[in-house]
Amino acid sequence: MTRPAKEDRRVELDAVLRVLSSPTRREILSRLVTETHYPLQLSRELGVSQQAIMKHMKVLEEAGLVRGVAEPSDQGGPPRTAFKLTSSLTIAIDLGPSLFSAQMEVHEDGGRNDGKRAGAVPEGPREALAMRLAEVSREISDIGREVAHLDHRRAELVERKMRLLDDAHKVISAMTDEYLSRRILYWVTETDEFSVPLLSERFNLRERVAQELYRDMLRAHLVPESKIRRLR
């Protein structure tokens, strides 16, 4: 489930996936993660018309990912509109035999990009700034290695889950020829929450029908004991 982004805008998974489907918008975002950019600047860098850049920016704004900010002109003219990133998020999609999962986590403390460059610009002698940069770089490398390790471990677990789900689905197919029954059993196998209201909502069943199915599944021992305990 997604959480509200800043500025009372909700960042929704479907909207983000639509945004990321465009290579040009992905290129725009890859630049905005470091600092704000002017449309003309992006137009020159990406080899795309400024009009097209503005259309992409409108899509990005509507998805809650960027916002236009007024910045003073370097040549003393009126302020110009630059665009900055306003959201930070992680998307995980698992697709394989017997498994489909799409999740998005919105990081509430991310998206801090309030100036020309991300965050407040530190001050001090160049040597001190270089030492700080080296320290930050080392920490980033450490985090990168740890994330890579976690990603590898996650991939191993997802592969194992796919194999188990494939086994479960073969068993379910052998148990019943009825399509709805199979769908319910697939869902029960994967879900951590199981109740009459959830069963009714998930499969658009009348509550009485859901209650009967629920009781039948308990009698047939089709719901693991751990899940039954959570329902009491």
> What's the total number of domains in the chain?
3
Asked, for residue 8, whether it belongs to a domain, the answer is no
| Predicted TM-score of the model (pTM) | 0.74
Name the token pair of 221.
């021992």
Query: Which H helix or E strand runs over 120?
Result: none
CATH number of the domain at 78, please: 1.10.10.10
Is 213 found in the same domain as 115? no
| Domain encompassing residue 132 | 123-175
Is 115 found in the same domain as 29? yes
Measured from the Cβ of residue 35, the count of other Cβ atoms closer than 10 Å reads: 14
Q: What is the pLDDT of residue 88?
A: 93
Angle at CA of residue 67, ends 34 and 86, nearest 5°: 55
Is 205 found in the same domain as 147? no
Q: Which of 79, 99, 121 is the last residue of a domain?
A: 121
Name the token pair of 84.
């900055």
Helices 50-62 and 39-46, axial angle in degrees (round to 10)? 110
pLDDT tens-digit profile, the chain (232 residues) = 344 444 445 689 999 999 999 999 999 999 999 999 999 999 999 999 999 999 999 999 999 999 999 988 766 678 889 999 999 999 999 998 889 999 999 987 654 545 444 455 677 888 899 999 999 999 999 999 999 999 999 999 999 999 999 999 999 999 999 999 999 999 989 888 888 899 999 999 999 999 999 899 888 888 887 776 544 4
Name the token pair of 69.
């900010």
Candidates 98, 115, 33; CA nearest to 66 is: 33
Asked, for residue 4, whether it belongs to a domain, the answer is no
Asked, for residue 3, whether it belongs to a domain, the answer is no
Is 78 found in the same domain as 156? no
Candidates 224, 160, 221; CA nearest to 191 is: 224
Is 31 found in the same domain as 103? yes
Is 61 found in the same domain as 108? yes
Asked, for residue 7, whether it belongs to a domain, the answer is no
Asked, for residue 6, whether it belongs to a domain, the answer is no
Measured from the Cβ of residue 83, the count of other Cβ atoms closer than 10 Å reads: 25
Q: What is the pLDDT of residue 109?
A: 64
Q: What is the pLDDT of residue 117?
A: 46
Q: What is the pLDDT of residue 195?
A: 86
Asked, for residue 42, whether it belongs to a domain, the answer is yes
Is 182 found in the same domain as 152? no
Helices 196-203 and 207-219, axial angle in degrees (round to 10)? 120
Is 71 found in the same domain as 149? no
Phi, psi of 68 (to 5 degrees): -80, 140
Asked, for residue 5, whether it belongs to a domain, the answer is no
Is 204 found in the same domain as 157? no
Q: Which of 132, 149, 175 is the last residue of a domain?
A: 175
Is 155 found in the same domain as 108? no
Is 41 found in the same domain as 21? yes
Q: Which of 175, 195, 213 is the last residue of a domain?
A: 175
Is 132 found in the same domain as 34? no
CA distance 57 to 34: 17
Candidates 122, 112, 118, 120; CA nearest to 36 is: 118
